Structure 1
Amino acid sequence: MSWGKGIVLVFVVFILGIGLLVYRSMTKNIDLVTTNYYEKELKYQEQIDKINNTNSLKENIKIDYNGNVILITYPAVQKNITGEISFYKPSDAKSDFRIKVEPGSDMKQLIQKEMLAKGLWKVQINWAMDGRDYFSEDKVMIQ
């Protein structure tokens, strides 16, 4: 094989490889963490305030997974806690869901494993008590 044919062959293989990479990158579905990220960015100072409020508590929310259920333990300081729990699955945005904060009389809330597909989940809790807003976040691996 001559030098000219070898160089042309290398260029053709290179161009085909780049074309394949462009095609695959255009057809790959990439889920955003949130669809309204611009609005959330504008309100980020509120988020910082919620995190600071949470850090100032003596007792914080605990999120535990024991293989069967996710147990969320709220601070025993107050009984009138309201808010929302968001479950985000980074690998599949269609699995994301939200539920209300509804602690029982023992200040605990159970989420059944059946509600969650296997894999990594981000659990974010936006909650309020005594007129102050709080935010807690943790990761849970469902197996």
Structure 2
Amino acid sequence: MKINWGTGIVIAFGLFITFILYFVFTVQSDSKYDNELVVEEYYKHDAHFGDEMIRIKNAQNLAQKPLVNSTSDGITIVFPDVFVPKNIKGKVSLYRPSNKRLDFETPISLSDATLLIPKKSLSGGRWDINMEWHYEGKSYLTKEIIYIN
């Protein structure tokens, strides 16, 4: 049987479409290629963006800022001496961009100026840290990116 050029083009298009459909279905059904949003309720989060910018600006205007470091024990957050540790309230949210199931929050309750997040609760890789805290009626938001080995 002899195949002319028109039949060849139709076969090529058919094979190409089959390949694309196979690829799309494979990516959509395999949990390895997870398509998660960073924020669950994106539009609700976006409505409070102005408030978030004010808190970030408050944190940037501090003369002495909290320091976020990766140590062998985990992640340490050290507040400057100008703050009374017991008056600092808030939470530290740790987001893992590659796996939503590893995200968690830790409340800020201090007896001294240092908060330690133990390494046993952190897997290796990138962590986005959002620290929302209040001190003497003013709200602050600090965002950091830390890499854990």
1:13 is aligned to 15
Alignment coverage as a number of residue pairs: 142
TM-score (norm 1): 0.91
**1:16-55 to 2 correspondences below 5 Å:** 16-27=18-29, 28-55=33-60
Mapped partners of 1:63, 1:104: distance in 2: 17
Mapped partners of 1:10, 1:31: distance in 2: 34
Mapped partners of 2:72, 2:50: distance in 1: 36
Are residue 111 (structure 1) and residue 117 (structure 2) matched? yes
* Structure 1 unaligned blocks of 5 or more: none
1:92 is aligned to 99
Are residue 102 (structure 1) and residue 96 (structure 2) matched? no
1:87-107 Cα shifts (integer Å, max 9, x gaps):
1001110111001112332x1
Quick one: percent identity of the two aligned structures?
Answer: 28
RMSD of aligned residue pairs (Cα, Å)? 1.5
Shift of 1:25: 4.3
Mapped partners of 2:99, 2:138: distance in 1: 32
Shift of 1:81: 0.5
Letter in 2 for 1:70: I
SS at match of 2:22: helix
Mapped partners of 2:27, 2:38: distance in 1: 19
Letter in 2 for 1:55: Q
Letter in 2 for 1:37: Y
Give the 4+ runs in structure 1 shifted more than 4 A: none
TM-score (norm 2): 0.88
1:2 is aligned to 4
